[in-house]
Chain A
Amino acid sequence: MIETERDSGPVVWVSIIAVTCLLLLAFQKILFLVVPFLLALILYYILYPTVQRLVLAGMSRAAAASVVTLAFLALLVACGYLMLPWITLHLMDWQMAVENYVQGGMSLLGRSLTELEDRYGMLQRAHLAATVGQRLNEFTGGLAEQHVAPILIGLAGWTPSLLLAPFLSFFILKDGQYFQSFLARAVPNAFFEKTLYLMSEVDQAARAYFLGLMKLTILDTLTLGIGLWLLGMTAPMGLGLLAAVLAWVPFVGSILGGVVVVLVAATDFPNQPAMAAWVVALFIFVRLLDDFVYMPLTIGKSLHMHPLIAVLMIFIGGAVAGILGLMLALPLLGVVMVVGKTVGAIVTDSRLMARYWHGRALRSAQASADL
């Protein structure tokens, strides 16, 4: 495959990027199916090692897949059962908390702008603090009522679709191997070895990406959690996890995570503006750690692509399919890249094509022998 990488020309690359964009557009239309399928894939790669262990212990694949999926569902139900009373109890508090945190953030911004005005007369003459404060008040007035409830209703609407994920992952765990054989049967003999290699490459790339993403989330949560705990923030691990999960959306997610934690810092420590600055510094430090240490150790290894192409693709993905595009651009490009390069290598390999036509001619001759 490394050889085929060298062979891929501009036509193949343009096709790869075009197909990725088309797929992102199509995925946007069938979001209700893409999200559970994506979650099912993540779940599959997480549960797969346990299924393999049970198969090794002598259990059939179907039974192992059933046992592991049922155990996961039981865990999910148990967590839901334990969490539900707590969630219902705190639902109203959360709505209040969102307003509090937004107010806290606005107070911090107001104080910072007033300090700036005190220092620079030009800003005072422009009434910067008053103008920004008025505009923000117009924007955030009744934010919680306007946005929190619709978000919660939206999440509830997604529940049936999300419940599909464990069932999909069960069937991938149980029949994934047969599905691969089934697909391989449709491939002509001449391309068989290359196609098998392609399937295993796609599988390995997806496995490495999703498991890498999980590892990255754990590392980010721990680093941010420990940093926030050292700063004396409340619920440091929860905030760390929230920011790490938001970081799944490239660029925008990291900024959003940072903003949420800064809002919490500004509200919990209203008289210590330095705290917000420390939180921002921590986020920048974790971001750098992510880019230079964690990413290369986890996700970086799975997607062998040029950083320029990766960044461009994220922007294109965002423009074509919004947040979904931002999230899916890289994994999808990774898969399309492997498929595109292999197809390109097969189509441009005149010997393979000659073998394919020779095989077809033999089959045609055999079929028409007694005609």
Chain B
Amino acid sequence: MFGLFPSKKETPRTERLRALSLFVNLTPRELKIVDGLLHERQFLKDEVIFDKGDEGQAIYIIIDGCVWILPQGKAGDGQTIELGPGTFFGDLALLDNSVRSAQARAATTTTLAVFFRADFMGLLETHGLIASKISLQLARHIGRRLRESHNVATGGQHL
């Protein structure tokens, strides 16, 4: 009524964001607030998203297309990781301004949603509940990755 309270109807982008593990615990209203903070960028095939050694300022969510993560900064060295729609990368940048550990390059024409660290920090102050839900999911994601790399290093033993 009178447009005082926002509509809970989801847009195609918020529907995609909902499927993302990072935002899975958010209510539609919370998701809409986060959606308002995201920047959408388009990268052409082979365009560099960020370089290894850059100061990380944002986390990238793949809306459409594919991205290569190149730890050595070049494709075809056997260490390339390909990420598809619905995944995210550069997540450590949300926590601190440490340098990027690998290069990210668009494998196809790609649409990305960019979540800037300053906006996340603002969210911590103004919407603590939303930020804590995202933080928990981020911690789970990093924990899972840590376990995986440990398993690879120790040949399958649990951490």
A: which residues have CB within 8 A of B?
A: 3, 52-53, 55-56, 58-63, 177, 181, 184-185, 189-190, 192-194, 196-197, 200, 204, 351, 355, 358-359, 362-363, 366
- In the assembled complex, the Cα of A124 lies from the Cα of B78 at a distance in Å of 97
New A-B pairs, 20, CB < 8 Å, besides A55-B126, A58-B29, A351-B51? A52-B126, A53-B126, A56-B126, A58-B5, A60-B4, A63-B3, A63-B4, A189-B41, A189-B43, A190-B48, A192-B39, A192-B41, A196-B57, A197-B118, A200-B116, A358-B48, A359-B48, A362-B46, A362-B47, A366-B44
CB contacts under 8 Å to A, within B1-33, are 2-6, 29, 33
B: which residues have CB within 8 A of A?
A: 2-6, 29, 33, 36-37, 39, 41, 43-51, 54-55, 57-58, 114, 116, 118-119, 126-127
Q: Nearest-CB distance from B108 to chain A (Å)? A: 12
Q: Are B118 and A55 in contact (CB under 8 A)?
A: no
Q: Are A196 and B3 in contact (CB under 8 A)?
A: no
- In the assembled complex, the Cα of A55 lies from the Cα of B34 at a distance in Å of 12
Q: Are B118 and A193 in contact (CB under 8 A)?
A: no
When A193-B58, A359-B44, A359-B47 are in contact, do A200 and B118 touch as well, CB less than 8 Å?
yes
Taking a contact as CB atoms closer than 8 A, the residue among A60, A193, A200 that contacts B6 in the complex is A60
Most buried by B among A62, A181, A184, A196: A196
Residues of B contacting A204 in the complex (Cβ-Cβ under 8 angstroms):
118
Taking a contact as CB atoms closer than 8 A, the residue among A3, A196, A358, A366 that contacts B39 in the complex is A196
Residue of B nearest to A48 (CB): B126
Between-chain CB contacts (< 8 Å), 14 pairs: A60-B6, A62-B3, A189-B49, A192-B41, A192-B114, A193-B58, A196-B39, A196-B116, A196-B118, A197-B57, A200-B118, A204-B118, A359-B44, A363-B44
Residues of A contacting B57 in the complex (Cβ-Cβ under 8 angstroms):
193-194, 196-197
Residues of A contacting B36 in the complex (Cβ-Cβ under 8 angstroms):
61, 177
Q: Are A193 and B39 in contact (CB under 8 A)?
A: no
- In the assembled complex, the Cα of A106 lies from the Cα of B115 at a distance in Å of 64
Q: Are B49 and A59 in contact (CB under 8 A)?
A: no
Q: Nearest-CB distance from B46 to chain A (Å)? A: 6
Q: Nearest-CB distance from B63 to chain A (Å)? A: 15
Residues of B contacting A355 in the complex (Cβ-Cβ under 8 angstroms):
48, 51
Q: Are B47 and A189 in contact (CB under 8 A)?
A: yes
Q: Nearest-CB distance from B72 to chain A (Å)? A: 16
Residue of B nearest to A362 (CB): B44
Residue of A nearest to B37 (CB): A177
Residues of B contacting A351 in the complex (Cβ-Cβ under 8 angstroms):
51
Q: Are B4 and A3 in contact (CB under 8 A)?
A: no
Residue of B nearest to A359 (CB): B47
Q: Are B47 and A358 in contact (CB under 8 A)?
A: yes
- In the assembled complex, the Cα of A63 lies from the Cα of B48 at a distance in Å of 40
Taking a contact as CB atoms closer than 8 A, the residue among A59, A192, A363 that contacts B4 in the complex is A59
Residues of A contacting B4 in the complex (Cβ-Cβ under 8 angstroms):
59-60, 63
Q: Nearest-CB distance from B51 to chain A (Å)? A: 6
Residue of B nearest to A178 (CB): B36
Q: Nearest-CB distance from A54 to chain B (Å)? A: 10
Residue of B nearest to A197 (CB): B57
Q: Are A181 and B39 in contact (CB under 8 A)?
A: yes
List 9 tightest A-B contacts by C-beta distance, closest first. A200-B118, A60-B6, A52-B126, A193-B57, A362-B44, A63-B4, A196-B116, A355-B48, A197-B57
Q: Are B47 and A56 in contact (CB under 8 A)?
A: no
- In the assembled complex, the Cα of A62 lies from the Cα of B36 at a distance in Å of 13
- In the assembled complex, the Cα of A62 lies from the Cα of B4 at a distance in Å of 8
Q: Are A63 and B51 in contact (CB under 8 A)?
A: no
Most buried by B among A52, A56, A351, A366: A56
Residue of B nearest to A56 (CB): B127
Residues of B contacting A181 in the complex (Cβ-Cβ under 8 angstroms):
39
- In the assembled complex, the Cα of A189 lies from the Cα of B41 at a distance in Å of 7
Residues of A contacting B49 in the complex (Cβ-Cβ under 8 angstroms):
189
Q: Are B5 and A193 in contact (CB under 8 A)?
A: no
Q: Nearest-CB distance from B82 to chain A (Å)? A: 19
Residues of A contacting B48 in the complex (Cβ-Cβ under 8 angstroms):
190, 355, 358-359
Residues of B contacting A362 in the complex (Cβ-Cβ under 8 angstroms):
44-47
